[in-house]
Amino acid sequence: MRGDQLPSVDALILDMTDSLQSDDLPLWEFVWRLNAMCPDAPTSDKVRLSRQAVTQLLGQEYELWRGEWPTGPVAPLTERETRDLADNEAAWSDPLSASVLVWLRATG
């Protein structure tokens, strides 16, 4: 794969699902994984692909939680916080600038 070529959403989901089997993942881990896989791709494209992957995973036994670093998820995301993710790129790529840290975790 070239440094600017993003994987398919299915390939990203498969890669991240392996990590989700053993731990909860902060949203920025999706973009950071893409940074390693395709470092020359624009960050906005990595965020877009990450959003697509998380949206699909949310329908498959995963949910969004607010969290703290390094302890992880502490409470389910509110509806408002979930809506705000659509406009908040920092939660996906820059946790130091994010207004809320968001984690993906298995339901149940």
Residue 1, pLDDT > 70, answer: no
pTM score, two decimals? 0.90
Q: pLDDT digit string (tens) for 9-54? A: 999 999 999 889 889 999 999 999 999 999 999 999 999 999 999 9
Residue 101, pLDDT > 80, answer: yes
CA distances from 22 to 25, 32, 58 (A): 10, 18, 17
CA distance 98 to 62: 21
Residue 3, pLDDT > 80, answer: no
> 50: how many CB neighbours lie within 10 A of its CB?
23
Please list, in sequence order, all residues whose beta carbon lies within 8 angstroms of the beta carbon of residue 71, skipping any fewer than 6 positions away: none
Q: pLDDT digit string (tens) for 51-90? A: 999 999 997 889 999 998 888 889 999 988 988 888 888 9
